[in-house]
Every structure is written in C-alpha cells, then in structure tokens.
Amino acid sequence: MHHSIAASTPSKAHAVKGIQGNSSLNDPSPALLQLYSSTPQPQSPQSEQKMPTPSLTLLNLLLTLLALYVPLHLYLNHRKLSQFPGPPFATTSRLWMFYHSLSARLPAVQIAALAKYGSPARIGPDLLISDDPDLVRHQNAAGSKWTRSGWYEGVKLDPRQESVFSTRDERLHAELKAKENGAVCLAIPFYQPHTSPQMRPL
C-alpha cells in the first residue's frame, strides 16, 4: 500500500517544473488581457484636467458684461444731443466737467467752448450751455416747456426748504412766484438804479 501511494504522488520538484512548463499560465488568455486593459488606471495629478472654479467663471462673466456695457453706454450718451456741437470728450460722459472742476477752470473752459462751438454748446451727454439772451428769455418765459436741471438743487439757501429759485417742481415754482410778485414789483423801483449800470456791460 505504501509503494502505490509513493508511485502516484509526484515529487515537489516535478510539481514546480510542471507549473513552470504550463503554457496557459505563462501566456494569459485574450480574456485576461481584455480585462486588464479595460481596468481604469490611476491618473497622475499632472494629467488631470483642472475644472474652472465658480468664482473664476463669475468673474469672467462680469468682465464680459462690463466690456459690452461701457462702449454701448458711451455710444448712447453720444447720441443723446448729437445735433449740438461741443468738446469731443464732453459728449460721452461728465468726466470732462469733473476734470476741469478739479482745476477750478470750468467757467473758463465753458466760455471757451461757447466761443469755439457757438451757442448752445454741449458740455455733457445731456447738458447744454448758452449765452444767448434771447434763448434764456425763451426758456424762462411763462408757459415754457423747458424744465430746470439738477444744477438748481445746489443753490438752495436752506437744504431742507425749496425756494422760487431752487425748486424744480413747476407747480410749486408757480405758487411761490405768485406769492412774491407783489413784493418784487414794489422793490423794482428801488433796485433798478443800482442794477441797470451793472447789466449794461453784459
């Protein structure tokens, strides 16, 4: 019995030789190759594509909108009063007035603009200046369709109270003017001898 068991049991060296000589283990089957090739391999950090962050995307969107808004805004400002001549930089924004205001030369450059471009001259996207007395008289006449600009808000004697000169409300202006007409008519004979000599040179 012992002899038959020994004859039927291969030695350890023979078993290792049989494993090494097995072609099915040395040459993997096509199925194993396909399984290995289809297994996803870990990518290195350099090969990973970086996705844009939400903050960067929002910044790009804001810059794009700003690049579209600024030229369109300047073009629309230029077209508002394009029939009136004036300094080129004054037609698109009020930076022209702001720059000359900082140097305290705004009255001088306005007079120069009137001399160069005539009256009325355009000194802002929606601002005109004139030294024509007939035009000023027409603007201030009773029933005129001309309205006052925001410039009058800066000449209030009392910031909390409107006056006949500073108010932009046409109805309130008419009410205040009617109340003052009597007093003004009485004061004119006293003021006229002093104001006429000053007005003649103008």
pLDDT at residue 38 above 90? no
State the pTM of this model.
0.52
Residue of 132, 185, 123 lying closest to 151 (CA atoms):
123
Contacts of 84-92 with C-beta under 8 Å, sequence gap 24+, read 84/120, 84/121, 84/122, 84/128, 85/117, 85/118, 85/121, 85/122, 86/113, 86/117, 86/121, 86/122, 86/123, 87/113, 87/117, 87/122, 87/123, 90/122, 90/123, 90/124, 91/122, 91/125, 92/125
Q: Taking all residues of the chain, what is their mean pLDDT, rounded to a whole number?
A: 76
Query: What is the per-residue pLDDT across 92-149, written as a single tens digit (0 to 9) for each?
Result: 888 899 999 998 899 999 999 999 999 999 998 888 888 898 888 888 787 788 888 7
**Number of CB atoms found within 10 A of residue 184's CB:** 11
Q: Domains of the chain: which residue ranges?
A: 70-130, 147-202
